[in-house]
């Protein structure tokens, strides 16, 4: 089986006549944590959506576990062990916390059922205290935890987190980072998009920086930490 879980080769994507991705190469292998960086509007979410079948790429190739799946339907790609936590969360507001979690439950690609309901509650004790609350009665941080918890219930090999800490109070964001660290330690590969670059590089192995729909730079986290000018140049941060 291929060690590369998800891969894009020469990907071009458009929204109508707007050319957003300009020939992107990207990959993530088993157990890796990759930070996907770039200023607002540079194409991070579009890259993810193009690899997961939500946006049909105009040119290029997407492979999942070494098999070409360019433009395949999102559910077919998700079935290959990829869980996506989109920006802005995606819980069912009218279902309880318990129902939201149970709905997500399925074995992993190789039949693994490591992430049980109980394990998710152990990982997110706050959710355990809110089991009968509706999704719409949760705070922003709890909703985010529920979204990640539901993704874990699918026993993924790759978890994609798009702005998981966006808009959260610093203490809650810290809690989410702690959880992401725990998930990483279990060997699940993770793509992390987040504006907190210091937090990203503290957990990522590798980082890919997008500028105007192209890969402007790829660097290990050690390289980025040692060269803050790289972040300044590509992301406009000091
Ligand atoms: N559904 C859409 N229709 C038309 N244009 C879109 C759509 N979604 C995104 N765009 C545009 O595509 C470009 C890339 O957006 P994308 O969301 O991929 O960027 P991003 O790097 O994830 O940034 P952000 O952090 O702001 O989400 C932006 O110019 C955005 O306005």
- pLDDT per residue over 132-178, tens digit each? 999 889 999 999 999 999 999 999 999 999 999 998 989 999 999 99
Quote the CA–CA distance of 123 and 213 in Å, as a whole number: 36
Q: What pTM was estimated for this model as a whole?
A: 0.94
Nearest to 33 by CA among 219, 214, 188: 188
Q: Residue ranges of the domains in the chain?
A: 4-235
| Beta bridge partners of residue 13, listed in sequence order | 21
DSSP secondary structure code for residue 92 in this structure: -
Inform me whether the pLDDT recorded for 15 exceeds 70.
yes
Confidence of residue 213 (pLDDT cuts 50, 70, 90): very high
- 50 Cβ below 6 A of ligand 1: no
- 88 Cβ below 6 A of ligand 1: no
| Strand (E) or helix (H) holding 162 | strand 158-162
Which residue has better confidence, 88 or 6?
A: 6
Q: Which of 35, 37, 43, 84 to mutate to test the pocket of ligand 1 (most atoms within 8 A of CB)?
A: 43
Specify the ligand 1 atom closest to the Cα of 163.
Answer: 25
Correct CATH for 4-235 of 1.10.3720.10, 3.40.50.970, 3.40.50.300, 3.40.50.720: 3.40.50.300
Q: How many CA atoms lie within 13 A of 151 on its CB side?
A: 26
Are 83 and 151 in contact by the 8 Å Cβ rule? The answer is: yes
CA 97 / ligand 1 centre spacing (Å) = 30
Minimum CA distance residue for ligand 1 atom 3: 15
Which residue has better confidence, 232 or 117?
A: 117
Confidence of residue 92 (pLDDT cuts 50, 70, 90): confident
Confidence of residue 236 (pLDDT cuts 50, 70, 90): confident
Minimum CA distance residue for ligand 1 atom 1: 15
Inform me whether the pLDDT recorded for 1 exceeds 60.
no
Quote the CA–CA distance of 168 and 144 in Å, as a whole number: 9
Quote the CA–CA distance of 165 and 163 in Å, as a whole number: 6
Minimum CA distance residue for ligand 1 atom 6: 15
Burial of 94 (0-12, 13-18, 19+ CB in 10 A): exposed
Burial of 189 (0-12, 13-18, 19+ CB in 10 A): buried
């Amino acid at each position: 089986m291929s060690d590369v879980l998800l891969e894009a080769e020469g990907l071009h994507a458009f929204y109508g006549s707007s050319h957003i991705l300009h020939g992107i190469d990207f990959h993530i292998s088993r157990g890796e944590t990759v930070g996907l960086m770039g200023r607002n509007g540079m194409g991070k979410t579009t890259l993810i959506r193009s690899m997961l079948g939500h946006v049909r790429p105009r040119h290029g190739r997407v492979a999942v576990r070494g098999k070409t799946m360019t433009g395949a339907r999102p559910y077919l790609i998700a079935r290959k062990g990829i869980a996506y936590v989109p920006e802005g969360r995606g819980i069912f507001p009218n279902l309880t916390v318990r129902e939201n979690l149970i709905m997500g439950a399925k074995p992993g690609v190789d039949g693994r059922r490591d992430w049980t309901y109980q394990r998710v509650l152990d990982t997110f004790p706050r959710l355990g205290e809110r089991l009968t609350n509706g999704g719409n009665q949760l705070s922003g941080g709890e909703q985010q935890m529920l979204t990640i918890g539901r993704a874990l219930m699918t026993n993924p090999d790759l978890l994609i987190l798009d702005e998981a800490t966006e808009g959260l109070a610093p203490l809650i964001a810290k809690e989410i980072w702690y959880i992401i660290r725990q998930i990483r330690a279990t060997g699940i590969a993770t793509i992390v998009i987040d504006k907190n670059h210091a937090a990203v590089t503290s957990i990522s192995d590798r980082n890919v920086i997008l500028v105007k729909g192209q890969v402007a730079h790829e660097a290990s986290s050690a390289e980025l930490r040692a060269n803050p000018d790289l972040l300044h140049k590509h992301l406009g941060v000091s």
